[in-house]
Chains A and B, each alone.
Chain A
Amino acid sequence: MAHSDDTSEDVRVLVEALYPQLRMIAGALSSRFGSPETLRSTALISEVFLKLRRSPRFADEQHFLRTAARAMRQVLVNHARSRVAQRRGGGAVVLPLDDDVPVFWQSDAELIALDDALGALEGMDARLAAVVECRFFGGYDDQETGRLLGLTDRTVRRDWVKARALLRTLLEDGELPGAE
């Protein structure tokens, strides 16, 4: 995997690339929830990748995909935060927004809370957080996630269950299990 400073710059590039795409196909995606065969993030990332694939920065697909999952998370969460901020009439707007951008999560607040919980999880178990980023924000399946993170399918499946259990506990109880 690339060095972390490279990665953060790459994430920025991807966020910039993803955002207009996101707006463009957002309308269709929002009605696409619930389709068992559609990985909405994959669709989005594929689209962006096809536009960026000739850039030397992303010549390595594994690196791209791992970065894309992170960028996707940032785009969605920034998006949610800025909507919330707009509604409140202030706050830190990360990206300029228009009113026609639809809601991606059932509620912006939930997505922001999830992002916070994921932040907490990152501090506790970075691998679990990485699995969540790939599986949930990247939309990759177990195999793809395993390949990107150097894990077996089996481990990814197990981590994914564990991570979701932890995140839900965090969201519901506000604290992690095993805390003293």
Chain B
Amino acid sequence: MNQNWPRLSALIDEAMELPLIEQRAFVAAQTDGDPDFQAAAFHFIDSLHSGLTGFMRTGAMGTDAPDRPAPLGEGERIGVWAIKSLIGEGGMGRVYAVERVEGGFTQAGALKLNDALPGTDLLVMTQERQVLADLDHPSIARILDGGGLPDGSSWMVMERIDGPTIDRWCADHKLGLEDRVKLVLAAADGLAQAHARLVLHRDLKPSNILVDPMGQPRLIDFGIARRIGSLEAAGPERLSLAYAAPELVEGLSVGPASDVYGMAQVLHELLTGHPAARRSGLPAGIASAVDGEAPVAINRAALLPDIARGAPSALLDDVAAVLSLALRSDPAARYPTIDAFASDLRRALAGRAVEARADEPGYRFRRWLMRFKWPVAGAAAIALSLTGGLGAALWQAREAKAARDAAVVEADRTEAVRQSLFLVLGESTEAAGPDGTRKDVLDRASERLTREFARDPAQYAPVLKALGELYFHSNDYPGAIGLLKPVASLPLAPTTAPTTKVPPEVIAEAKVDLAQVYLRTGEPEQARAMLTAAQAFWASDPARWQSDMIESRLAEAQIVRDLDKDPPRAAAILRRALADRIAMSGPANRDVAIFQNNLGNVLSAMGLHDEAAASFRQAQATWAAIGASETPDAMNTLNNLAASEVLAGRPKAAVPQFAEAVRLRRALFGPSAALAALINNNAKALLLSSDAAQALPLAREATAMARDFAGEGSMLHAASAAGLSEALLATGQAKDALATAQSGHRAALQTSGAGTPPEIVALIALARANAATGSQDAARSQLANAQKGVAAMGPGGARLNDAIRDIRQRYKL
């Protein structure tokens, strides 16, 4: 063979380490005195740099494949489209920039000319194209035109997206973790619509998702998209193996979960720079099939440098878990739909428990706690939205527009509060043991903080108040009162020197918190006393406490509605406050959405159902605009919107809305008083739609849950029990219906007292059950009593009067 080769090879290796222009000089020096060897070395060096580019290049070879004709030139036409230039060339054909000039305007498009394939059925292709053309979503590039050519090739024109691929775009904009996830979510939206139309994409990868100048991701190239159900194996040659789900590579049956895999690979690449499973060094298609069950390892070290720095650990862990589930090699083990995948990503972004980690011990509780750690509006404060039933209020970091100094102090304090509360909660979690429920933990923390507060009020008042807000958030009103009352009862006298070292604004906040609680427990007088005192304090320095004052108008309006029975004045207060709020923060703001929601409630109480629905829809739009559609507040809005349909006499329209709200709330937050209220509403809507069979199990669940979370005899419990009794009657179980109504009424009477709304609601249910079981006299007198009570309730009692009238007619009383 060639004895000189080892020597030559070593010399070339050394030379190749050097810059190009120095290589010849290096070789010359090293081979001085050996002209033959020098000539061979020069020859080799030259051969390295001349014309090797295309030689044996994998992937790049064969561009002049014999069966593909020369590209079309500028000005040539296909259909009404004029070729501008060749944009790209792929395995299936070429893509041209094209333009249609017609009627004086120009339309730009991207024309994909597929190679003629033997056995292609043009009719089938036309049908496929029609399916794609029907997709209309901001995240999908629209199909504009298409057809076949005599040689059997086919063409399709789609919108020309003026933008880079999604990975390029993320890199150019140095997007962080959260924004990358959001971008994939936007693309997933479009994909979900395609799936709803039974179209799979099947070739998802970064180069098939472009981002337009508005920042909207656009899915292109449903080139191998097939209708679900009309699938045939396309073979691996048409796939991008690194991104394709194993079942696509194996030619097994594919479904929405295959696109879940593809979309997850795109996100994986956006986060780490490559699709998953490359780590083993195997071609990805093989690796994912071999060890796809191993969890996808994304840690900080694996992230692209742009996002590694700012990525919150909790979010990173959740996203990694979501990807791990979405990239399972068994399609049945993945998220079944792109929506399920997207929802879990949204939960991760919102700091809520993701389904992918639901099995981890203690995970849900930790995530629940985490939600209270968010920095909000520039101040690391405890963000709590206090919601429930038909009313909402908000406590969050105070915006510092009018009071920078106050905000700084507030931020410092809330940070300290957060630390203390976390310390206490953390220790209580430990003390409660591994099986401790959320309530066990809160109760332990509550006991301990109450003791600390007695010892050192100044330090522990804010912590106690914060814990009270947590209780409120959990719909535990008695617990919230126990914690808030000690702080709210401290003297608050803005004009005189404080008698304790507890900051007066903390006391004011505790008072308004407590007012909210009293509104929920049906004690509006107490609520007014608390609110009035707090407002008097804020009025002493209106500029500084502007935000607090505006927020307090929510509670004020509810008190005016409940106590003064004056919905018009309540609505006026809310409208003025809404205008103030928008002026303060702009329209796309959480507080604005809450105001719109509450305005709807007041309108609803006034009987203006269509106006109420319009206000709820505005609130929904605002929730969507700020990306908060899956928050408790947004779910309340959805509930309220459905309720307004019921009140407007369209219960059938409300059923699916309630069902969706129940589904979301159950999945995201689990059992609570608010969920009980929703289920109860769902059951009511079904009853009104004459679907008692479906209503019955829901009414049963709502009643049990209301008893556990809102308390026996509470308004919610009374209403749920009344609904259950009605459902039992409608399904022919009169005896059980009577027993349920009796125990519901007894509880309401004991807990809330005669003549209170819960007692009246329970009384009407009892009258109905009595009438249905033949006790006409008892029913008659109970209805008469109920009517007196309803008259005292003002306009809010109109619905109850309707119920009384219906029972009288039905049973001829």
Asked if B283 lies at the interface with its beta carbon under 8 angstroms from chain A, I say: yes
CB contact list, A24-43 vs B, under 8 A = 24-25, 27-43
A-side contacts of B8, CB under 8 Å: 177-178
Question: Which of A28, A46, A136, A148 has a CB less than 8 Å from the CB of B58?
Answer: A136
B290 touches A33 (CB 8 A): no
Assess A28 versus B47: contact at CB under 8 Å? Given A37-B207, A39-B59. Answer: no
A161 touches B52 (CB 8 A): yes
Q: Which residue of B lies closest to A103 (CB)?
A: B66
Q: Which of B86-94, B125-133, B213-221 contacts A (4 or more CB under 8 A)?
A: B86-94
Asked if A17 lies at the interface with its beta carbon under 8 angstroms from chain B, I say: no
Question: Which of B56, B89, B241 has a CB less than 8 Å from the CB of A46?
Answer: B241
B68 touches A169 (CB 8 A): no
Question: Which of A36, A47, A65, A103 has a CB less than 8 Å from the CB of B236?
Answer: A47
Asked if A165 lies at the interface with its beta carbon under 8 angstroms from chain B, I say: yes
Tell me which of B37, B58, B60 has the highest count of chain A C-beta atoms within 10 A of its own C-beta.
Answer: B58
A-side contacts of B16, CB under 8 Å: 158, 161-162
Asked if B121 lies at the interface with its beta carbon under 8 angstroms from chain A, I say: no
Assess A34 versus B5: contact at CB under 8 Å? Given A43-B237, A61-B282, A169-B47. Answer: no
Kindly state the separation between the CA atoms of A126 and B541 in the bound complex, as whole angstroms. Answer: 87
B-side contacts of A176, CB under 8 Å: 2, 5
Q: Which of A7-15, A80-88, A90-98, A137-145 contacts B (4 or more CB under 8 A)?
A: A137-145
Please tell me the number of chain A residues within 8 Å of chain B, measured between CB atoms.
Answer: 58
Classify chain B's interface size. 35 or more
Q: Mark A96-127, 1 if CB is under 8 A from B, else 0.
A: 00000001001000000010000000011100
Assess A168 versus B47: contact at CB under 8 Å? Given A27-B118, A47-B236. Answer: yes
Q: Which residue of A lies closest to B12 (CB)?
A: A162
Kindly state the separation between the CA atoms of A24 and B233 in the bound complex, as whole angstroms. Answer: 12
Kindly state the separation between the CA atoms of A65 and B91 in the bound complex, as whole angstroms. Answer: 24
Chain A interface mostly: helix
Kindly state the separation between the CA atoms of A29 and B239 in the bound complex, as whole angstroms. Answer: 11
B-side contacts of A125, CB under 8 Å: 5, 9
Kindly state the separation between the CA atoms of A8 and B341 in the bound complex, as whole angstroms. Answer: 46
Assess A164 versus B56: contact at CB under 8 Å? Given A46-B285, A46-B286. Answer: yes
B-side contacts of A44, CB under 8 Å: 236-237
Kindly state the separation between the CA atoms of A55 and B560 in the bound complex, as whole angstroms. Answer: 78
Question: Which of B44, B56, B117 has a CB less than 8 Å from the CB of A177?
Answer: B44
Kindly state the separation between the CA atoms of A156 and B290 in the bound complex, as whole angstroms. Answer: 25
Asked if B134 lies at the interface with its beta carbon under 8 angstroms from chain A, I say: no
CB contact list, B225-283 vs A, under 8 A = 235-241, 246, 249-250, 278, 280-283
Kindly state the separation between the CA atoms of A170 and B265 in the bound complex, as whole angstroms. Answer: 42
Asked if B62 lies at the interface with its beta carbon under 8 angstroms from chain A, I say: yes
Kindly state the separation between the CA atoms of A169 and B43 in the bound complex, as whole angstroms. Answer: 9
A-side contacts of B90, CB under 8 Å: 34-35, 37
Question: Which of B12, B43, B63, B283 has a CB less than 8 Å from the CB of A34?
Answer: B63
Q: Which residue of A lies closest to B63 (CB)?
A: A34
Assess A162 versus B9: contact at CB under 8 Å? Given A31-B67, A124-B1. Answer: yes
Q: Mark B632-643, 1 if CB is under 8 A from A, else 0.
A: 000000000000
Asked if B21 lies at the interface with its beta carbon under 8 angstroms from chain A, I say: no
User: Separation in Å of the A131 CB from the closest CB of chain B?
Assistant: 11
A-side contacts of B236, CB under 8 Å: 25, 43-44, 46-47
A50 touches B249 (CB 8 A): yes
Assess A61 versus B4: contact at CB under 8 Å? Given A28-B235, A135-B58. Answer: no
Kindly state the separation between the CA atoms of A177 and B68 in the bound complex, as whole angstroms. Answer: 37
Kindly state the separation between the CA atoms of A105 and B276 in the bound complex, as whole angstroms. Answer: 32
Asked if A57 lies at the interface with its beta carbon under 8 angstroms from chain B, I say: no
Assess A178 versus B62: contact at CB under 8 Å? Given A38-B237, A49-B286, A168-B55. Answer: no
B47 touches A178 (CB 8 A): no
Closest 7 CB pairs of A and B: A33-B62, A35-B91, A32-B91, A147-B281, A34-B63, A46-B285, A178-B40
Apart from A32-B238, A114-B56, A124-B2: 13 A-B pairs, beta carbons within 8 A: A25-B236, A33-B62, A33-B65, A36-B59, A39-B59, A43-B285, A47-B236, A53-B289, A106-B64, A124-B5, A165-B44, A165-B52, A178-B2
Could you list which residues of chain A lie within 8 angstroms of chain B, going by C-beta atoms? 24-25, 27-47, 49-50, 53, 61, 65, 103, 106, 114, 123-125, 132, 135-136, 139-140, 143-144, 146-148, 158, 161-162, 164-169, 176-180
Q: List 29 A-B contacts (CB under 8 A).
A: A28-B237, A31-B65, A31-B67, A31-B91, A31-B117, A32-B92, A33-B65, A34-B65, A34-B89, A36-B59, A39-B241, A40-B59, A40-B237, A43-B237, A50-B250, A50-B286, A61-B280, A125-B9, A136-B58, A144-B282, A147-B281, A164-B55, A164-B56, A166-B44, A167-B56, A176-B2, A177-B44, A178-B2, A178-B4
